[in-house]
Structure 1
């Protein structure tokens, strides 16, 4: 019975379900798959019939995954990831090259140790094609879980985001509050966080990995809300806006460490110890890393250790 059930589930069922689960939208899933919305709905309906449960439920004008859908999503992702690894392995044999290394990186790593670590890795001439992508922590972890990335370098994700993933801590890092050097607050040594309400404040977006640390800091200092905020995960936008305007930017130290060292930005003297969080390497918990990926992780460890020394 179990084998007959398994044989009816096709790869297109899993691909379609993963796109629906990722986008929480039939229309967006259809666009991603380059098919029509009815085709997506029909494929999901077939999968639900095979499994005997509802995977998708309506929610307002959109949809959400049912309890069964959440359960099946993780296993479907592992299955598609395994197929992707098989495709990659065949491509490696055909090209006589090492396996591709696809890394998702948060700005805290991209602007500090990762560029030199990747340069070191390339000197080993493994033949592996290295791809670096950036984005919100949630997006990167979802891509890792689905097999689209091999490694995420950044902060430890929230517990609900770490299902099926393994995190190896490397060091801890705090959030900082920065301005341009000519900002009125930069010249002062005594002020309260309540004064942030007088300026535009650039904040990590809701749902980002450091946002809970920032919210807790503000609440601890009696600031339930700020009247003028911009939410962004773009370090390039944050840097440009802060340098051109009298704004305040709340961001991980690693993302602006070079700007602070060069004097392009100024750090406000605020005790930020309670915002410290672990930064490290996240991989799929059940997959065996290739030799090339193991080498990349070791090179990253060495570069982090050398910076700490």
Structure 2
């Protein structure tokens, strides 16, 4: 069956943005067009496809079964076209690039080593790293804007329909600056709520592990909090304040080794969550994505065996 030539690039872009945002209003804002214009474009696409792509309600726009099926092909098609245009504009006719979503749990230790190995083996490889909450990164993976996502994400509802491969488990820990008052007074462990806290953003997968740590040790964090997924911001704030950071162990491993931060001993550490890589089974695996997955497995295995870091 021939493709209807009346289907335009703008139809696909609008469809993908509504799928990503789950709302016509938010999608229209992202695309800098009016909501009526967006609705008209979607209606045109649905008419051309003879299918209803979204269920509209006061809560937003949800993909229908037909919309989910179309998404599996529309996302990769638009991304491939964008890459083709960009490669010609750059004068590169055989681009070798990969886009990887990276959660904060792995951006300090795992990913830098993987990038080093990839560049040593493939000097012309361009690696684009996108950071952010798991929900945002998984939505980009679903529409084909990312080749894979790395980190803790198994508790995210958006992971359903995607493929997850476990690499290793990583625990959460409490860390403070090396001259924190609580270190000189063992009794101060009972009054941890007297200090500011640094926590992952509410609603994120890693925040659930932080909350589990509080329950496990009977800790009530204070109302004075910094909530962020930025490892760099958290590290600097903790080093220049009396804040307590609920941190992924890998994110602070080197700081603890160098004495820049100190781990609070609570008798037991949170058992750990699954760190792994997530891919979209509806998308073809490019050679460069396969290279990256192989490097991730390699470093993950060395982590398990205690060979890295």
TM bracket (short chain): 0.7 to 0.9
The runs of 4+ residues in structure 1 deviating greater than 6 Å are: 3-9, 89-94
Aligned pairs, how many? 300
* Residue 102 in structure 1 maps to residue 99 in structure 2: yes
* Residue 260 in structure 1 maps to residue 265 in structure 2: no
Matched residue, 1:211:
207
* Residue 243 in structure 1 maps to residue 239 in structure 2: yes
Please say which of residues 36-45 and 232-241 is displaced more in the overlay: 36-45
The answer on whether the counterparts of 2:197 and 2:221 sit within 8 Å (CA) in structure 1 is no
Matched residue, 2:121:
124
Unpaired runs of at least 5, structure 2: none
What's the offset of the Cα at 1:137?
1.6
The answer on whether the counterparts of 1:104 and 1:140 sit within 8 Å (CA) in structure 2 is yes
Please say which of residues 236-245 and 182-191 is displaced more in the overlay: 182-191
Alignment TM-score, normalising by the size of structure 2: 0.83
Please say which of residues 258-267 and 32-41 is displaced more in the overlay: 32-41
* Residue 155 in structure 1 maps to residue 149 in structure 2: no
Please say which of residues 286-295 and 80-89 is displaced more in the overlay: 80-89
* Residue 77 in structure 1 maps to residue 75 in structure 2: no
CA distance 1:90–1:7, shift in 2 (3 Å):
closer
The answer on whether the counterparts of 2:256 and 2:262 sit within 8 Å (CA) in structure 1 is yes
1:108 is paired with a residue whose SS is: coil
The answer on whether the counterparts of 1:175 and 1:272 sit within 8 Å (CA) in structure 2 is no
Aligned equivalents of 1:266, 1:126: Cα separation in 2: 38
- What does 1:134-213 correspond to in 2, within 5 Å? 134-158=131-155, 160-189=157-186, 192=189, 195-213=191-209
The answer on whether the counterparts of 1:98 and 1:126 sit within 8 Å (CA) in structure 2 is no
Deviations 1:235-270 (A, max 9, x none): 122112211111111121112222222222111112
Unpaired runs of at least 5, structure 1: none
Aligned equivalents of 2:224, 2:64: Cα separation in 1: 36
Task: Find the partner of 1:298 among 284, 288, 294.
Answer: 294
The answer on whether the counterparts of 2:177 and 2:239 sit within 8 Å (CA) in structure 1 is yes
1:56 is paired with a residue whose SS is: strand
Aligned equivalents of 1:187, 1:13: Cα separation in 2: 63
The answer on whether the counterparts of 2:76 and 2:145 sit within 8 Å (CA) in structure 1 is no
Please say which of residues 228-237 and 5-14 is displaced more in the overlay: 5-14
2:116 is paired with a residue whose SS is: helix
Please say which of residues 93-102 and 299-308 is displaced more in the overlay: 93-102
Deviations 1:106-148 (A, max 9, x none): 2332211322221221222363321112111221111111111
Please say which of residues 197-206 and 77-86 is displaced more in the overlay: 77-86
2:105 is paired with a residue whose SS is: helix
